[in-house]
């Protein structure tokens, strides 16, 4: 089954304790992205990756890191979590994007990770 | 600055009637628009999209209308069913960004009453 998986689905942690949220897709997609969803703000992009070893900042990258060592995985790292990072996080992937042939906009989302930082 | 806005946080309709969800945008460079549906405890799922070269796109019970001059798009669901109850997000993007980036609205919660 084609899917994007995230782990853990729920996490409660304390300020300053490093954590990693994993994301994996089995669709061989080039493009992957992380979003956070907050009440009244919709989904905001944190980081994205257009290919292996290529990552770039989205709209709200502060306090987050990502890596893309292999195509299928795109972990989100919070080196020193703070309470304002309490949110619902979604990983998404999209088929191959090439600037000459046009952008593929449809993204496939994982089930979400609800993070609480106390 | 919110470039994509869904000004109605919630909408309630009766089963069988039409649901109309609205979305406004400010960036005239946006040229592709999508609607996503989200159930609780699940990720958003793609519903329907429209390119700026069109003003209407239909897929079964779902139709998206685009009014470029007004920078407005809407999603019509006819007839509405209880299973359509979910949060609906509109999203926009532009070729010029070359990033595949989507800008999302805040979402509208649709409740369809039996």
User: Are A103 and B95 in contact (CB < 8 Å)?
Assistant: yes
B41 CB within 8 Å of a chain A CB: yes
Task: Determine the residue of chain B that is closest to A105 in CA distance.
Answer: B100
Give pLDDT tens digits for B32-90. Answer: 899 999 999 899 999 998 988 899 999 999 999 999 999 999 999 999 999 999 999 99
Measured torsion, CA atoms of residues A41, B91, A76, A69, in degrees rounded to the nearest 10: -160
Of residues A41, A99, A105, nearest to B49 (C-beta): A105
Interface residue B49 vs chain A (CB under 8 A)? yes
Q: Which residue of B has its CA nearest to A30?
A: B100
- For residue A36, what pLDDT band results from cuts at 50, 70 and 90? very high
Q: Would you place residue B114 in the very low, low, confident or very high pLDDT band (cuts 50, 70, 90)? A: very high
B10-39 mean pLDDT: 95
N-term to C-term CA, chain B: 38
Instruction: Note whether A54 contacts B: Cβ–Cβ < 8 A.
Output: no
Contact B66/A at CB under 8 A: no
Confidence check: pLDDT of A39 > 80: yes
- Give pLDDT tens digits for A58-76: 989 999 999 999 999 999 9
| Both structure tokens of B17 | 């009637």
* A100-109, B26-35, B105-114: the lowest-pLDDT one: A100-109
A45–B contact, CB cutoff 8 A = yes
> In angstroms, rounded to a whole number, what is the distance separating the alpha carbons of residues B107 and B114?
22
At B21 the pLDDT is 98
The residue of chain B with its CA nearest to that of A110 is: B43
Q: How far is A20 from chain B (nearest CA, A)?
A: 19
pLDDT in the model for residue A13:
96
Are the beta carbons of B44 and A58 separated by less than 8 Å? no
Task: Kindly tell me if the per-residue pLDDT of A57 is higher than 70.
Answer: yes
Confidence (pLDDT) at B94: 73
What is the overall mean pLDDT for chain A?
Answer: 91
Give B-chain residues touching A35 at CB under 8 angstroms.
Answer: 104
Beta carbons of A93 and A4 less than 8 angstroms apart: yes
* % of chain A residues with pLDDT over 90: 75
Whether residue A97 is predicted with pLDDT greater than 90 in this model: the reply is no
State how far the Cα of B53 lies from the Cα of B73, in Å rounded to an integer.
13
Say which residues have a Cβ less than 8 Å from residue A110's Cβ, sequence separation at least 6. Answer: A3, A4, A5, A6, A23, A90, A91, A92, B43
- The per-residue pLDDT for range A98-116, each reduced to its tens digit, is 555 555 668 899 999 999 9
pLDDT at A38 over 80: yes
Question: So what's the pLDDT on residue A96?
Answer: 57
């Amino acid at each position: 089954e084609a899917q994007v998986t995230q782990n853990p689905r729920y996490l409660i942690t304390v300020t300053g304790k490093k954590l990693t949220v994993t994301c994996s897709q089995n669709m061989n997609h080039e493009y992957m992205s992380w979003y956070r969803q907050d009440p009244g703000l919709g989904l905001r992009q944190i980081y994205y990756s257009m290919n292996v070893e290529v990552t770039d900042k989205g709209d709200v990258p502060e306090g987050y890191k990502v890596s893309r060592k292999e195509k299928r995985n795109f972990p989100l790292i919070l080196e020193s979590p703070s309470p304002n990072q309490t949110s619902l996080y979604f990983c998404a992937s999209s088929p191959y994007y090439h600037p000459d042939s046009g952008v593929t906009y449809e993204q496939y989302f994982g089930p979400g990770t609800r993070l609480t930082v106390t | 600055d919110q470039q994509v806005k869904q000004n109605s946080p919630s909408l309630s309709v009766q089963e069988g009637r039409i649901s109309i969800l609205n979305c406004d945008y400010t960036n005239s460079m946006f040229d592709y628009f999508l609607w996503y549906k989200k159930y609780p405890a699940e990720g958003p799922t793609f519903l329907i999209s429209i390119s700026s070269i069109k003003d209407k796109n239909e897929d079964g019970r779902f139709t998206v209308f685009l009014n470029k001059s007004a920078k407005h798009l809407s999603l019509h669901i006819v007839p509405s069913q209880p299973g359509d109850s979910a949060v609906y997000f509109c999203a926009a993007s532009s070729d010029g960004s070359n990033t595949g980036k989507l800008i999302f609205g805040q979402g509208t919660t649709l409740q369809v009453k039996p």
